[in-house]
């Protein structure tokens, strides 16, 4: 009886381990057009390119949800000023660039609304990691007459 119980426990542990490995190794497939859009955004963010982000990435109304706090930008000028100040602060902290590590979530709700979670790392100008190694952000992307645009950013801890 002990052998059967031990064998059952061993099989259970092995199957749990295999399931955990399988679920961790599931690759999230993001359409190439969305991947190019996000990669362009990450490159522009790394350059601190406010004009590119305003012209090609963000759209108003734009909201940032960070924990219990929500900030809504209804005017492009306010969003642009926020970006200018954000990049100034990052540069003062030695920010160099960001790199996309992997996708953590992709949901295509319709032809015009997408939710995507990005895992990324920020680096200092020295090449060292800036703060947390793996950061996460969720974006709501909407397609309109201007193409794909991020309208909401949700900070993930």
DSSP class of residue 129 equals B
pLDDT of residue 157: 64
Encode the chain (157 residues) as per-residue pLDDT tens digits: 433 333 333 333 333 333 333 445 678 999 999 999 999 999 999 999 999 999 999 999 999 999 999 999 999 999 999 999 999 999 999 999 999 999 999 999 986 899 999 999 999 999 999 999 999 999 999 999 999 999 999 998 6
98: its two tokens: 């960001």
Domains of the chain, each with CATH number or no CATH: 33-156 (3.10.450.50)
pLDDT of residue 11: 39
What beta strand segments (E) does 2-94 contain?
A: 58-66, 69-73
Closest CA to 35 of 93, 118, 113: 118
Instruction: Please tell me whether the overall predicted TM-score, pTM, comes out greater than 0.75 for this model.
Output: yes
pLDDT of residue 13: 36
pLDDT of residue 10: 34
């Amino acid at each position: 009886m002990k052998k059967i119980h031990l064998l059952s426990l061993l099989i259970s542990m092995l199957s749990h381990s295999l399931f955990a490995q399988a679920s961790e190794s599931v690759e999230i497939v993001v359409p190439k057009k969305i991947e190019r859009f996000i990669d362009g955004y990450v490159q522009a963010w790394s350059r601190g390119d406010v004009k590119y982000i305003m012209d090609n990435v963000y759209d108003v109304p734009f909201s940032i949800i960070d924990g219990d706090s929500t900030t809504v930008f209804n005017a492009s000028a306010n969003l642009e000023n926020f970006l200018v100040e954000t990049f100034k602060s990052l540069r003062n902290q030695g920010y160099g660039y960001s790199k996309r590590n992997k996708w953590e979530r992709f949901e295509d709700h319709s032809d015009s609304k997408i939710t995507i979670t990005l895992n990324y790392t920020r680096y200092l100008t020295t090449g060292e990691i800036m703060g947390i190694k793996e950061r996460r952000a969720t974006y709501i992307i909407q397609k309109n007459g201007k193409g794909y645009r991020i309208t909401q950013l949700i900070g993930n801890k």
